[in-house]
C-alpha cells in the first residue's frame, strides 16, 4: 500500500533531480547578473551619488502633456495626464562596458538606488502614477526614469469668458528638500521644443493645447535657493457645443423678448407672451446651471447676462408694468359695468314706481350726465396712462437694446480674443 503510493513520488523526485542536474543555465552565469551585482553590492542609496560633495547633481526634466482630464472651475482644480521624464547622472553606477560583455545599458530597481525628491508644487491630491519598478542606467552612469502621472493641481481658473476661455495653469517642479547647491534642475529638451510639442496630446477632448512654455528659476527662501522649473500649460476650450446649447437659445430668447416690445403696450396678448418668455427662460436657466462652470472669483459672462440680475430684472419689470397697466385698464371697465347696471336698475325701478314725475326725470338725467362725465374722466385718465406707459416702454426698450448690444460686443470681442 505505502510502496504503491511512494513509487510515483520517487519517480517524480528523480526526474526533478535529473532536470536540475542537466540544467547548466543559472542567473549567476549571466553578464547582467554580474554587472548588477557588481554595481549594487557596495551601493548606498542614502548617499547622493557624487564623489566630490561640492558638485551638485543636475536633474534634467522633460514633460509631455498627454491629456486634460478635468477642469474644475468651482474648486479651482486641474486634472491632467502627463508623461514625465527625469534624467540624472549617478557617479557610483558606471562601468567599463568592454569588461561586461559590451553591455551599455541595464535596468535596475528604482528602490535600490538614490533618486531625486522632485515634487510638483501645485499638487492637490495624491498623484496617481504607476509605480514603475525599474530605471535605465547606461555605462556612464546616466539614469533615466520616465513615468506617466495623473496630476491633480491647483490652478487659478478664469471663467468670465466662458465658453471662449483660455486657461493658463502651471506645473512647477522642484526638489522638496535639496537646495540648488545639492540638486539642480535643467531642461532635457530645449524649451522651444517643449513649447510646440503636441505629438502625444489627445485632440478629441473639450480642450485644445495651445502651448507649454517653461522657465527655469531659483526660488530664494530662508533655507537657501531652490531650483525650480515651471511649465505653463496654456489651453483653450472648444466652444462649439456651448454655442449650440447655451448661446444660441439665450440669444433667441432675448430676441423674442425684444420682439414683444413691438406689441402695443395695452394689448392683453403681450402679457401672456411675456409670461411665456419668462417661463421659457426660467426652464432654460435651470438647464443651463448644470453646464456653466461656476467659480467664486468670476461668473461667466454668458451666465451673468443670460441668467441673473439684468435680464431677469428687465423681464420682470416689463412684465409687472404690463400687469399694472392691464389692471388699471380693466378697473374702469369693471366699475363701468357695475355703474351701468346700477344706473339701469335704479332708472327702471324708480320709473316704474313713480312715472311721470318731472323731478324724477330730472334726477335721472342728472344721473346719466354724471355717468357720462365720469366716463369722460376715465377716458382721459386712460389716455394719460397710455402716454406714460408708452414712454416707459420706450425707455425700457432702449435700455434693453443697449444691454443686448453691449452683450453682443463683449461676446464678439471675447471670441476674437479666443481666436487670436
The residue ranges that bind ligand NAG (CB under 6 A) are 52, 54, 96, 98-99, 104, 138-140, 142, 168, 170, 198-199, 201-203, 232, 234
Q: Which residue number, 139 or 298, has a Cβ lying nearer to ligand NAG?
A: 139
195 versus 328: smaller Cβ distance to ligand NAG: 195
Name the phi and psi angles at 315, rounded to 5. -60, -50
| DSSP string across 65-108 | EEEEEEEETTTTEEEEEEEEEEEEE-TTS---GGGTTT--EEEE
Report whether 66 contacts 81 (CB < 8 A).
yes
CB of 140 to ligand NAG, least distance (A): 4
Closest distance to ligand NAG from the beta carbon of 131 (Å) = 24
Q: How far is the CB of 194 from ligand NAG (least distance, A)?
A: 14
Report d(CA 371, CA 118) in Å as an integer.
Answer: 94
- The CA-atom distances, in angstroms, between 83 and each of 167, 187, 349, 395 are 20, 15, 100, 59
For the CB of residue 232, give the shortest distance to ligand NAG in the complex, in Å: 4
Residue pair 152/119 in contact (Cβ under 8 Å)? The answer is: no
For ligand NAG, give the closer residue by CB, 170 or 260.
Answer: 170
Whole-angstrom Cα distance, residue 20 to residue 244?
72
Q: Give the list of residues 6+ apart from residue 2 with CB closer than 8 angstroms, or none.
A: none
Is 52 or 221 the residue whose CB approaches ligand NAG more closely? 52
Q: Where are the beta strands (DSSP E) in 159-206?
A: 166-175, 183-187
How many CB atoms lie under 10 A from the CB of residue 319? 19
Q: Is 371 exposed, middle or buried (0-12, 13-18, 19+ CB in 10 A)?
A: middle
Distance between CA 6 and CA 190 in Å, rounded? 71
| Closer by beta carbon to ligand NAG, 202 or else 343 | 202
CB nearer to ligand NAG: pick between 63 and 254: 63
Closer residue to ligand NAG, CB minimum distance, 35 or 277: 35
**Widest CA span of the chain, in angstroms?**
150
CA angle 179, 155, 213 (to 5 degrees): 65
Q: Which C-beta is closer to ligand NAG: that of 41 or that of 98?
A: 98
- Closest separation in Å from C-beta 58 to ligand NAG: 12
161 and 305 Cβ atoms separated by less than 8 Å = no
Cell numbers linked to 400: 434693453
Q: Closest separation between CB of residue 87 and ligand NAG, Å? A: 7
Residue with cell 535639496: 178
CB 138, min distance to ligand NAG, A: 4
Query: Whole-angstrom distance between the N-terminal and C-terminal Cα of the chain?
Result: 91
Q: Cβ closer to ligand NAG: 206 or 360?
A: 206
- Minimum separation from the CB atom of position 218 to ligand NAG (A): 16
State the nearest-atom distance from the C-beta of 248 to ligand NAG, in Å: 27
Amino acid at each position: 500500500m505505502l510502496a504503491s503510493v511512494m513509487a510515483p513520488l520517487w519517480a517524480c523526485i528523480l526526474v526533478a533531480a535529473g532536470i536540475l542536474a542537466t540544467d547548466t543555465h543559472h542567473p549567476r552565469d549571466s553578464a547582467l547578473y554580474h554587472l548588477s551585482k557588481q554595481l549594487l553590492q557596495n551601493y548606498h542609496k542614502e548617499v547622493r551619488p557624487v564623489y566630490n560633495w561640492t558638485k551638485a547633481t543636475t536633474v534634467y526634466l522633460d514633460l509631455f502633456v498627454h491629456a486634460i482630464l478635468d477642469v474644475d472651475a468651482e474648486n479651482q482644480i486641474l486634472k491632467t495626464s502627463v508623461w514625465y521624464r527625469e534624467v540624472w547622472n549617478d557617479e557610483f553606477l558606471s562601468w567599463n562596458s568592454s569588461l561586461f560583455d559590451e553591455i551599455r545599458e541595464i535596468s535596475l530597481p528604482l528602490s535600490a538606488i538614490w533618486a531625486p525628491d522632485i515634487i510638483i508644487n501645485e499638487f492637490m491630491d495624491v498623484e496617481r502614477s504607476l509605480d514603475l519598478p525599474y530605471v535605465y542606467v547606461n555605462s556612464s552612469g546616466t539614469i533615466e526614469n520616465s513615468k506617466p502621472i495623473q496630476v491633480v493641481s491647483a490652478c487659478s481658473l478664469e471663467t468670465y469668458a466662458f465658453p471662449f476661455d483660455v486657461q493658463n495653469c502651471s506645473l512647477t517642479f522642484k526638489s522638496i528638500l535639496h537646495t540648488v547647491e545639492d540638486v539642480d534642475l535643467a531642461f532635457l529638451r530645449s524649451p522651444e521644443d517643449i513649447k510646440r510639442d503636441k505629438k502625444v496630446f489627445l485632440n478629441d477632448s473639450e480642450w485644445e493645447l495651445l502651448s507649454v512654455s517653461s522657465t527655469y528659476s531659483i526660488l530664494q527662501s530662508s533655507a537657501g535657493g531652490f531650483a525650480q522649473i515651471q511649465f505653463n500649460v496654456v489651453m483653450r476650450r472648444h466652444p462649439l457645443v456651448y454655442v449650440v446649447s447655451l448661446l444660441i437659445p439665450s440669444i433667441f430668447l432675448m430676441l423674442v423678448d425684444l420682439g414683444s416690445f413691438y406689441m402695443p403696450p395695452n394689448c392683453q396678448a403681450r402679457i401672456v407672451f411675456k409670461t411665456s418668455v419668462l417661463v421659457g427662460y426660467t426652464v432654460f436657466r435651470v438647464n443651463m446651471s448644470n453646464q456653466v462652470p461656476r467659480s467664486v472669483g468670476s461668473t461667466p459672462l454668458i451666465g451673468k447676462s443670460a441668467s441673473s440680475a439684468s435680464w431677469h430684472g428687465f423681464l420682470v419689470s416689463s412684465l409687472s408694468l404690463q400687469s399694472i397697466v392691464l389692471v388699471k385698464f380693466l378697473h374702469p371697465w369693471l366699475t363701468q359695468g357695475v355703474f351701468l347696471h346700477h344706473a339701469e336698475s335704479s332708472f327702471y325701478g324708480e320709473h316704474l314706481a313713480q312715472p311721470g314725475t318731472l323731478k324724477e326725470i330730472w334726477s335721472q338725467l342728472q344721473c346719466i350726465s354724471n355717468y357720462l362725465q365720469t366716463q369722460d374722466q376715465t377716458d382721459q385718465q386712460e389716455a394719460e396712462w397710455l402716454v406714460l406707459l408708452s414712454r416707459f416702454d420706450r425707455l425700457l426698450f432702449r435700455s434693453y437694446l443697449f444691454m443686448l448690444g453691449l452683450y453682443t460686443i463683449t461676446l464678439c470681442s471675447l471670441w476674437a480674443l479666443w481666436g487670436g
